[in-house]
Amino acid sequence: MTFVDGPVRVSVPATSANLGPGFDTLGLALDLRDTLEAEVTSGGLSVEVDGHGKGEVPLDESHLVVRAMQATFDRLGRSPAGLRLSCTNVIPHARGLGSSSAAIVGGVWLARELVAGGRLLLSDTALLDLAAQLEGHPDNVAPAMLGGFVISGQDADGVFFAVPGSVDPRVSAVVFVPPSPVSTAAARRLLPAQVPHADAAANAGRAALLVAALSGRPEELLRATEDRLHQDYRRPAMPESLELVDTLRAEGVPAVVSGAGPTVLAFTEGVGTASSAALAARCPSGWAMHQVAISHVGAALADAR
């Protein structure tokens, strides 16, 4: 048999990329998870969406999860007669929390699991490479697949790499999610083609410090999350987000724009602690707020319903 019997279910975490200075390189998995379930059928395509994106995303072959699944089936040389897909989305869309990466990672993972012997035919490394190709860069897909804190990039020959880092157990986060989205493409268009050498050097130092701060020196997170490469250039697209970042940082809180924004991520000392509660009280009116632990588990199979 080419495909497994019955449905397969996977959960995938939200992610925050950049983390201030680590532009297109650093990413962190957050314990806010989408759940996807798929099953090979005798024919046709059925897509159901609950939660974020319901009534907004397409329910046909252009759905991002379906496209990721099809790319994986093509890589495996398999072609199912039909598919049933169900998505329960907790990760907000177009907010800088890796919703598209979660969809891609969930899709490639589901497709591999639906093929009998899929893990022997497509390794985890090859699956991550495929997900990065579909997304265009690995900074979100790598932590979505691997969990935790990941340093990733692409070599000159086009090969993607992802190296897990460590996260001090004292580190958690609060995310402030504004009501209006900003597309990654729109945010990226605001970036200049060149930046001053001094800014690039400053960011390199801060990114290196951030790796150390997350792994065991959280007291250095405020200094380590300084950025000169992308956040301020994106201010016209998300002025309220950058205003919140500026306000929090002036008060000593390590706050950054999450990914391409407009969500603001602030590092804190554990979910439910006094510092997290104090930050939660700073949520602007009309915004959503989540106190989230760092997810040390990436994409993972879940029990099918």
pLDDT in tens, 250-292: 999 999 999 999 999 999 987 777 777 888 888 999 999 999 9
The C-alpha atoms of residue 262 and residue 298 are separated, in whole angstroms, by 23
Q: Stretch 85-97: mean pLDDT, rounded?
A: 97
Q: Is the torsion defined by CA of 183, 14, 21, 282 positive or negative?
A: positive
Strand-pair category, 82-89 with 44-51: parallel
Q: What is the pLDDT of residues 105-137, one digit of tens each?
A: 999 999 999 999 999 999 999 999 999 999 999
What phi, psi does 18 have (nearest 5°)? 75, -55
Which residues are annotated as part of the binding site? Answer: 92-102
Residue 144's H or E segment, with its range, is: helix 141-146
Is the pLDDT reported for residue 76 higher than 50? yes
Which residues are annotated as part of the binding site for ATP? Answer: 92-102
Q: What is the pLDDT of residues 38-58, one digit of tens each?
A: 999 999 999 999 999 999 999
Domains of the chain in start order, with CATH, are 8-166+296-302 (3.30.230.10), 172-292 (3.30.70.890)
Q: Say which range, 35-39, 136-140, 181-185, has the weakest mean pLDDT.
A: 181-185
Percent of the chain clearing pLDDT 90 (strictly above): 90
Instruction: Kindly give, in sequence order, each residue whose CB lies less than 8 Å from that of residue 294, ignoring residues fewer than 6 positions away.
Output: 28, 29, 30, 31, 148, 149, 167, 171, 172, 173
Indicate the pLDDT class of residue 305, thresholds 50, 70 and 90: very low
Coil, strand or helix at 192: coil
